[in-house]
Structure 1
């Protein structure tokens, strides 16, 4: 009996070292989070990315698995983040003719809006926390995860912390922005979509997809241009 138990533990330990195991765990956690999201009537405070994240963290903690082991399987999912962002060009294409006519106004709004979020976040972090590495990392919180991680690496920030800031920013933004703009009677597809894309990046764009194709188009455009601008400017500033 002890030998069988030891053998079972050895098999489990081996499985937990396989990249494919953690890939499947991550996908399973997301699917469970998606089911929970639907059962809560698509609550913006409980998106699948949050509940899935919590489940994966719990599994890592319970199995005492280091992040380096998990990342071997996570790299495949990270690879697909880029193509997913490119796929957002589909709703963008359907509304491109409207955007082209007001491109300069849209670009100005994105520049002012996106860098205002950076200025406010950096100033508050510097004032309340006062730790330079955290302040620098906070600067990348308003762009999608792959870009934020790359910016954090270039500016001597903390990539893992940058990813966490991005997730928290996206969840809060996706939950608050549509309600706030509706309360202010500014809830047009253009304004709501751009606000979600600028402030809540990929999570916000996911929320915009639920609201409608026009919302998603403006959100995808704002998210993409914000990421491009920040990737160019932030490493130079910091």
Structure 2
């Protein structure tokens, strides 16, 4: 058993199994937004690591295989986007303004709160990347002097809260048309929000994928220079 716990493929397989278990729980609870598969998977893997006494470094020898797949998975979101590309071309100004202003406001609010409430420079620099999908957030966090592991945690927390709060908030304000909902989920809740949009409909998922991609691109170009 000790030798098995040191095997990279064991941890890669365990991560996949934990996510599948989380997905089953999510479906059996009626797609409960409080129990997204990624949250359940994190709890299961973290508990296993804690009980087994295995270090994060050992885990990542297998986890890196899945980490390398994050980029190609994001590219696959071009499939739903392609279905509505003609409509998006006509709305390029609306989309550009939504991405620029929306992502700018979310980052500014988070950074100001972190600066005054926490006061730690490394955490403040890390939280700049909270609204970007994970592979981009980790890369940018390292460039701006943040903590890459903490960046992943901020991204996941932001995504879960965004996927949970955005749909009911927009519904309450009667601004929950498919395009607006998709854009908001993509800008504020990145990949987890886009995953939620995939459940809501093809139009929501297409606009969420577009917003997430543009937000990540904008931040990758601007944040290192700005910070």
TM-score by length of 2: 0.99
Q: Distance in 2 between matches of 1:55 and 1:109?
A: 36
Structure 1 residues 55-98: Cα deviation after superposition (integer angstroms, max 9, x where no partner) = 00000100110111110111111111111111100111000000
Do structure 1's residue 159 and structure 2's residue 148 form an aligned pair? Answer: yes
Do structure 1's residue 138 and structure 2's residue 127 form an aligned pair? Answer: yes
Aligned to 2:31: 42
Q: Distance in 2 between matches of 1:222 and 1:109?
A: 8
Do structure 1's residue 22 and structure 2's residue 6 form an aligned pair? Answer: no
Deviation at 1:141, TM superposition (A): 0.2
Do structure 1's residue 71 and structure 2's residue 78 form an aligned pair? Answer: no
Structure 1 residues 162-181: Cα deviation after superposition (integer angstroms, max 9, x where no partner) = 00000000000001000000
Q: After TM superposition, where is structure 1 displaced by more than 4 Å over at least 4 residues in a row?
A: none
Alignment of 1:50-199 (within 5 A): 50-199=39-188
RMSD (Å) for aligned C-alpha atoms? 0.6
Structure 2 residues without counterparts, runs of 5 or longer: none
- Choose which of 195, 211, 217 in structure 2 pairs with 1:206: 195
TM-score by length of 1: 0.94
Structure 1 residues 196-230: Cα deviation after superposition (integer angstroms, max 9, x where no partner) = 00000000000000000000000000000000000
Q: Distance in 2 between matches of 1:76 and 1:178?
A: 33
